[in-house]
Chains A and B, each alone.
Chain A
Amino acid sequence: MPMASKRKTVSYTWRKWRGALGFGLTGVATLISLGALFSILGYLIHQGIGAINWNFIVREPAAVGEAGGGIAPSLLGTLILVAISMVVGMPLGIGVGIYLSEMAGDTRFANLARVAINTFIGVPSIIMGIFVYFILVKPTNTFSAVAGGLALGIIMIPIIARTTEDVLRLVPKSIREAGLAIGAPKWRVTFDLVLPAARAGVITGGILAVARVAGETAPLILTALGNEYYPTSLFKPIDEITLRILKYARGPYDVWHQQAYGAALILVFGVAIGSLLLRLSTRDRDALSR
């Protein structure tokens, strides 16, 4: 008997240790990851904060290698490109998500579409850039905002489609049945009841997609190209903040290097503040409807 109880104690101690070890390892993993992220942020702030001032935000770039000047065309260009990408990506992505969740069921076609979407989420973004380069840039013989926005929009489609399908599936079946039971046709149930119930999730998916494309560089090199001046037309080359960072970081001048860090800092905070604001605004509306 004493043997048995001793064995029990040993295994209990071992299990306790194993538990603690498990928690400890996940804690360490978290610390390492957060540490890496915060040191990137800290480094960015340290290197870039000096470049940021009012002129940096509202001016055009100065002449090559000279001090001063700003990245206003890149900021404006980024907003325009993201806007175009949303016009392309949101309706198509949400449409695909609704189709897969509400209409398609488990047909072979739908499952094929799901596989394709999951694949495209992982496809390197330069592929979309090459695609748009060959179907739009080359035929029209010009880089343009439209081409850049289109490439970013195509990148958004699978991301938004996937998140939309996922959050729509979380809406309880009972809401759909209740809507159908009062004689609402399926499309009205989808748009009046299911989509509003999943609104916060759909918006979060949209934010994720926007945040993702706002930081894209590769596809833009092949489509938007970049520009030193304010955009004057959607059918001409346009600048974007990551293109500006790329140009300045690779350049030979210290001023440029500092401005590259400054631009990177603005991009990081822009995405952070943007997603925070959208998240807060959707949370408020959810709280109200409760």
Chain B
Amino acid sequence: MEVRDTDILKSDQSAASVDQAYKLRVKDLNFYYGAFQALHGISINAEKNRVTAFIGPSGCGKSTFLRTLNRMHEETPGARVDGEVLLDGESIFDRDISELRRSVGMVFQRSTPFPKSIFENIAYGLRIRGVDRSSISDLVEQSLKRANLWEEVKHKLNKSASSLSGGQQQRLCIARALAVNPELLLLDEPCSALDPIGTSKIEDLLLEIKETCTILIVTHNMQQAARVSDYTGFFLSGKLIEFNDTKSMFETPSSKLTEDYITGRFG
């Protein structure tokens, strides 16, 4: 199992210190859509305050993998997982699902603003969380500033979110996810519908927010993975072929398949 080879865990480390080093630990995760197995024995450890990228051709299971981490797969009838997913050492499957999703934010491929005003898009998550009414507008401002969107929207907070450009909408979705202070942020091809300027704004943003949370990003774009991530995993046909720090992965891939993919021979 190549996956085990790249597992950098030392066996003599105690479980507690392992949990401190890794925000997220996935062990032997299998995923099924009905009879079809979409993920085969995925094991991965994601370090705290680092960006971990997942690359691979369409349909390789990288988005499916991401969606199990906040249990979004449970919304798909017939989807089923086995294996372990530990967030701070605690199984995500034992946690209350709403509470889990407040600690694990998600940003989707296509921006999904709520049919509400810009302000309400951010405030909604805060209200759900029961945040005190008086502090909501401060928190909205803070979140928009963290997502580098405040200057562009501060004069039109009551306008509908769908009046924003695609890139702005995506940053709004990131602000919305950040507002509830997630420990882990999942991004599923967040830039695939954006132009280069929108993309570079989001990439800069990721490097800023990794100070406060752990980021997992799925991307089609290998340059993007190389630019923003500390670690990269390569998926192919539902298997994690290689997982390593980004620099080694792109300079000296250990698997022939990885090398073929990143040099553009397929995918």
Contact = CB atoms under 8 A, between A and B. Distances in A.
Interface of A: 105-106, 172, 174-185, 188, 192-193, 196-197, 288-290
B14 interface: no
B173 A183 contact: no
A288 B129 CA distance: 28
A220 to B, nearest CB: 39
A192 B163 CA distance: 20
Contacts of A181: 70, 72, 101, 105-106, 108, 177
A185 B112 contact: no
Given A105-B77, A178-B112, A181-B101, 8 more contacts: A106-B77, A178-B173, A180-B75, A181-B70, A181-B108, A183-B128, A184-B125, A188-B128
B99 interface: yes
Interface of A is mostly: helix
Contacts of B108: 174, 177-178, 181
Interface centre among A105, A192, A197 (most CB of B within 10 A): A192
Given A105-B77, A290-B162, A290-B163, A182 B176 contact: yes
B180 A182 contact: yes
A70 to B, nearest CB: 46
Interface string B93-104: 000001111100
A184 B75 contact: no
Contacts of B162: 290
B115 A193 contact: yes
B27 interface: no
Nearest to A179: B114
A183 B75 contact: no
A290 B114 contact: no
Contacts of B129: 183
25 contacts: A105-B77, A174-B108, A174-B112, A175-B112, A175-B115, A177-B72, A178-B112, A178-B173, A181-B72, A181-B106, A181-B177, A182-B101, A182-B102, A182-B105, A182-B124, A182-B176, A183-B128, A183-B180, A184-B98, A184-B125, A193-B114, A196-B116, A289-B115, A289-B116, A289-B160
Contacts of B114: 175, 178-179, 193
Interface in B72-89: 72, 75, 77
A183 B112 contact: no
Nearest to A290: B160
B110 interface: yes
Contacts of B110: 174
Interface in B100-155: 100-102, 105-106, 108, 110, 112, 114-116, 124-125, 128-129
Contacts of B115: 175, 193, 196-197, 289
Contacts of A197: 115
Contacts of A289: 115-116, 160
Contacts of B112: 172, 174-175, 177-178
Contact of B125 (A177, A182, A290): A182
B66 to A, nearest CB: 11
A286 to B, nearest CB: 10
A174 B67 CA distance: 13
A100 to B, nearest CB: 15
A184 B128 contact: yes
A203 to B, nearest CB: 15
A182 B70 CA distance: 10
B146 to A, nearest CB: 15
A163 B75 CA distance: 24
A183 B163 contact: no
Contacts of B77: 105-106
Contacts of B75: 176-177, 180
